[in-house]
Amino acid sequence: MRYWLMKSEPSDVSIDDLAGFPEQTVDWYGVRNYQARNFMRDQMEIGDGVLFYHSNCKVPGVAGIARVASLAYPDVKQFDPVSKYFDAKATREQPRWFNVDVQLVRKIPLISLDELRRHPELAGMRILQRGNRLSITPLDPDEWRFITTSLVNG
């Protein structure tokens, strides 16, 4: 089992939106970074843990716990010419972009980016590294345990 931090802009899909979706599940569409795509396509497995992270907002932070609910499959938005995620080089035979389904486990009180920075146990988290802008990053199992036990339940 692996663990991930996945960023979503709440103006696009928030934790509350996810809670209201059928089966509390969303397809993680629109990823257009090759490294983040490769994490989904090549490494994510059903049941992997996810920290649902609100980004590009007034108070960014972890807003919920989720899980990977599907294996990777082609992101249909790459084929839609009216979508902002359209990719003219992608074909149905050779898709370039993939997504997974993410399902809510539970909403939590927001753990802000500033709060994450306060804990030396989390100093190695990619999201806390200078210059990291990836929308999907792997988490070390110790980081996952610290956040889900000490910060969520603490």
- Does a structural domain hold residue 154? no
> Residue 58 domain-assigned?
yes
Rounded Cα–Cα distance for residues 8 and 56 (Å): 8
Q: Is 146 part of any domain? A: no
104-120 core/surface letters (b: 16 or more CB in 10 A; e: else): beebbebbebeebeebe
CATH number, domain at 22?
3.10.590.10
Is pLDDT at 153 greater than 80 in this prediction? no
**Which ranges constitute the DSSP H helices of the chain?**
15-20, 34-38, 113-117, 141-145
Q: What is the pLDDT, as a whole number, of residue 130?
A: 86
Asked, for residue 21, whether it belongs to a domain, the answer is: yes
In a domain, 151, yes or no: no
Sheet strands (E) in 9-76: 25-27, 49-54, 61-68, 73-74
User: Cα separation of 47 and 67, whole Å?
Assistant: 6
Q: What residue numbers bound the domain in which 115 lies?
A: 3-138
Number of domains in the chain: 1
Whether 59 maps to a domain, the answer reads yes
For residue 6, give the nearest of 101, 75, 121 by alpha carbon: 101
149 is a domain residue:
no
Q: pLDDT for 108-129, tens place per residue?
A: 999 999 999 999 999 999 999 9
Residue 152: which pLDDT band, with cuts at 50, 70 and 90? confident
The whole-model pTM stands at: 0.94
124 occurs within a structural domain? yes
5 within 8 A of 128, measured Cβ to Cβ: no
Q: Average model confidence (pLDDT) for the chain? A: 95
